[in-house]
Amino acid sequence: MATLGIPANTIAVLQKYKFNFQKKFGQNFLIDTHVLEKIIESAGVTKDDFVLEIGPGIGTMTQYLCEAAREVTAVEIDTNLIPILEDTLSAYDNVTVINQDILKLDIKALAEEKNGGRPIKVVANLPYYITTPIIMGLFESHVPIDSITIMVQKEVADRMQVGPGTKEYGALSLAVQYYAKPEIVANVPPNCFMPRPNVGSAVIRLTRHEQVPVEVTDEKLMFRLIRASFNQRRKTLANGLNNSPEIHLSKEVIQQSIEELGEPVNVRGEKLSLEQFAELSNIIYKKLHA
Ligand code: SAM
């Protein structure tokens, strides 16, 4: 029985183990059963699924995942939480806890071992200080992923969802939307956590595209162009590309390419859609390989 979502039970566990929250690990534990149920429901976890949980904390969401999934692996960096997890998860025989930094774990090998290389579900209330590297790591390392359902800072969830013409639009929006369909499924206020974070949170589900939505000859080149154009947000796209140490193209080639795209040479990167970044990178690729 999942019991930790009730604040009194969380407090009892924290007191029993004299647990001290570590700010550097982004520890804000969920204490709201409705939010926990909503996360599990949005993730669509079934008894067929292998689920990777990042940062189980004291095991609150892990308990729900163990009830819903076939098998769960939970990766927790804080060694002080391991004996607590052994206790709170003792009723479940379908969970493995790994004491490691998620950024150092070979998730592809884990998916192979636990799920025969079939797409896995990732569910997490993420430590906010490393949200972007975790998400990008999951996508870029070509781990077989079905979906990622995560609690993140509200502002970051917004950035993942928006398109050109908004101030939140940037490299994260484009990267997420290249790999997945984002959908915010709940907004979560600070009082659903212990301790309370200083920011609002949101649960977002990223459903991996079966096929990427645009045709790109060289993915790495497209992402170099995207990074370069948002690194210097207030500059024009041409200047951003020209000043980037990652891109070695003459000013003339850059300007010609932007014109071929059908945009004025003084266009800003933030005006371009994913389709246009893909097209621009294909134009530049051709020029580089002519
Ligand atoms: N899942 C729990 C919950 O919802 O109550 C805890 C969520 S808390 C926001 C984030 C958790 O991630 C903490 O337990 C923290 O120790 C863990 N964590 C932080 N950095 C990590 C990393 N690099 N690798 C694995 N876990 C990490």
Q: How many CB atoms lie within 10 A of CB 105?
A: 16
Q: Does the Cβ of 32 fall within 6 Å of ligand 1?
A: no
Q: Does the Cβ of 59 fall within 6 Å of ligand 1?
A: no
Q: What is the pLDDT of residue 247?
A: 86
Low-confidence stretches of the chain (pLDDT beneath 50): none
Q: Does the Cβ of 73 fall within 6 Å of ligand 1?
A: no
Q: What is the pLDDT of residue 1?
A: 67
Q: What are 86-145's pLDDT values in tens digits?
A: 999 999 999 999 999 999 999 999 999 999 999 999 999 999 999 999 999 999 888 999
Q: Does the Cβ of 158 fall within 6 Å of ligand 1?
A: no
Contact call for residues 155 and 199 (beta carbons, < 8 A): yes
Q: What is the pLDDT of residue 290?
A: 83
Give the pairing type, strands 50-54 and 120-125. parallel
Which residue puts its alpha carbon closest to atom 19 of ligand 1?
25
Token readout for 41 is 């429901």
C-beta contacts of 177-181 below 8 A and 24+ residues apart: 177/213, 177/274, 178/212, 178/213, 178/214, 178/274, 179/139, 179/206, 179/208, 179/209, 179/212, 180/139, 180/147, 180/148, 180/206, 180/207, 180/208, 180/209, 181/206, 181/207, 181/209
Mean residue pLDDT across the chain: 95
Q: What is the pLDDT of residue 285?
A: 95
